[in-house]
Amino acid sequence: MVKKYDYLIVGAGLFGATIAERAHRAGKSVLVIDKRNHIAGNIYTENQHGINVHKYGAHIFHTDYDDVWQYINQFAEFNRFTNSPIAIFDGKVYNMPFNMNTFAKIWDDCITPADAIKHIKKERQEITHPPTNLEEQAISLVGRTIYEILIKGYTEKQWGRPCTKLPAFIIKRLPVRLTYDNNYFNDKYQGIPIGGYTKMVEKMLSGIEVRLNTDFFKDKAKYQSLASHIVYTGPLDEYFDYQLGELEWRSLKFETKVLDEENHQGCAVVNYTGHDVEYTRVIEHKHFEFGTGPKTIITYEYPSAYRKGAEKYYTVNNKQNDQLADAYRKLARKESNVIFGGRLAEYQYYDMDDVIKKALDTDIS
């Protein structure tokens, strides 16, 4: 039977939008649906008082992939924003990621890289065996002082369990530098799309039919019958009606305030690394685009356990969840006309550039 569309794309986030754009450009007929009332998935930005508010958390684009950078620059001009967050602990300010500025603040006699190495080496000696959990991994990387000021509280709030019960790999994401360089990322390219991410995704989807407030699972059979190929970017377990069990996620709550103040915290991202406050970060959105207006908008980010109806933000990659995800991936491979792609459908912690890279490398012939 001839189908109405070549591609039905479930989810107007970055993975769905990249596949949709490529398929449309290749002359295929494409329908994109999303259950939310807006496009762009978690990178959605909303303009309020002339400020682009990152509604699902701070998003900084960074990549080392030349092809991804060239691709995305067709749809947006990126500004020169460089992520250099600060961390606040016990009323004091520290630079992130861990670099010479951080070390010089922590140890009074630390000025040169050799001084920092001396301190870290001494503190590292506490761990005499290969690290078995996040606490041991952190101490063996930077020593107990930095662990207690900058890692312990933040990580325990973020993941909702003690660092001694968390896998070591989480902390490997944080770079340690022996230079006075506050750039959070090592990537070749970095920036924020001028005018916001929504405008960028709008451009990607231009000329493509998009239906919002449309949940694939409300009428799965009908949507499946519409197209020869389906690109599914929703949660992996939900596609299979949780038949093997539920995958675990961490969620977040955002509390946003508009302030009659030009500049509230002087930085786009401020991490709160102690247990004295429940939030992990405060975002001041205007600083992503060097905004200067009389008002500002800030968002407190509170990590929370995932409960039905909440948004799924972070995968919880422990042995049990990874095994369950693998079992679902096996089922997914049997769905011959369905591409499972993106953060939710692959159950992977992907940055934006990883998602675009995956979508660019997906065969849509």
Strand partners, 284: 298
Kindly state the smallest distance separating residue 271's Cβ from ligand UDP, in Å: 4
Q: Considering the rule CB under 6 A, would residue 42 count as an interface residue with ligand FAD?
A: yes
Q: Considering the rule CB under 6 A, would residue 234 count as an interface residue with ligand FAD?
A: yes
Assess contact for 215 and 234: CB atoms under 8 A. no
Q: Considering the rule CB under 6 A, would residue 149 count as an interface residue with ligand FAD?
A: no
Separation between Cα atoms, residue 171 and residue 182, nearest integer Å: 18
Considering only the stretches 8-16, 153-161, 191-199, 250-258, report the one whose residues sit in contact with ligand UDP under the rule CB under 6 A.
153-161
- Residue in 133, 158, 304, 321 binding ligand UDP, rule: CB under 6 A: 158
Q: Are strands 209-211 and 314-315 parallel, antiparallel or unpaired?
A: unpaired
Strand partners, 250: 305, 314
* Closest CA relative to residue 5, chosen from 201, 219, 230, 220: 230
End-to-end CA distance of the chain: 19
**Contact characters 204-223, ligand FAD, x per CB under 6 A:** -----------xxx------
- Residue in 51, 127, 141, 151 binding ligand UDP, rule: CB under 6 A: 151
CA distances from 87 to 7, 105, 225 (A): 45, 12, 51
Q: Considering the rule CB under 6 A, would residue 102 count as an interface residue with ligand UDP?
A: no
**Contact characters 296-335, ligand FAD, x per CB under 6 A:** -----------------x----------------------
**Active site residue ranges:** 173, 177, 250, 281, 301, 349, 351
Q: Considering the rule CB under 6 A, would residue 155 count as an interface residue with ligand UDP?
A: yes
What is the residue type of 126?
A: E
Assess contact for 33 and 16: CB atoms under 8 A. no
- Binding partner of 33, given ligand FAD, ligand UDP, none, CB within 5-8 angstroms per partner class: ligand FAD
Kindly state the smallest distance separating residue 341's Cβ from ligand FAD, in Å: 7
Considering only the stretches 152-160, 223-231, 256-264, 298-306, report the one whose residues sit in contact with ligand UDP under the rule CB under 6 A.
152-160
- The Cα angle at residue 40 between residues 346 and 58, in degrees rounded to 5: 85
In the complex with ligand UDP, the residue whose CB is nearer, 343 or 357, is: 343
Q: Considering the rule CB under 6 A, would residue 150 count as an interface residue with ligand UDP?
A: yes
3-state secondary structure of 20: helix
Residue with tokens 């993106």: 342
- Residue in 32, 33, 43, 96 binding ligand UDP, rule: CB under 6 A: 96
In the complex with ligand UDP, the residue whose CB is nearer, 153 or 234, is: 153
**Contact characters 302-341, ligand UDP, x per CB under 6 A:** ----------------------------------------
Assess contact for 106 and 184: CB atoms under 8 A. no
Separation between Cα atoms, residue 333 and residue 330, nearest integer Å: 5
Q: Considering the rule CB under 6 A, would residue 352 count as an interface residue with ligand UDP?
A: no
Helix-strand-coil split of the chain, %, nearest 5: 35, 20, 40
Separation between Cα atoms, residue 280 and residue 275, nearest integer Å: 9
- Residue in 3, 6, 29, 35 binding ligand FAD, rule: CB under 6 A: 35
Considering only the stretches 112-120, 168-176, 237-245, 323-331, report the one whose residues sit in contact with ligand UDP under the rule CB under 6 A.
168-176
Q: Considering the rule CB under 6 A, would residue 85 count as an interface residue with ligand FAD?
A: no
Query: Does an H or E element contain 320, and which?
Result: helix 319-334
Separation between Cα atoms, residue 268 and residue 211, nearest integer Å: 33
Asked if residue 235 has a cis previous peptide bond (ω within 30° of 0), the answer is no
Residues that bind ligand UDP (CB under 6 A): 87, 96, 150-151, 154-155, 158, 170-171, 173-174, 271, 273
Residues that bind ligand FAD (CB under 6 A): 10-16, 33-36, 41-43, 57-61, 215-217, 233-234, 252, 313, 342-344, 350-353, 355
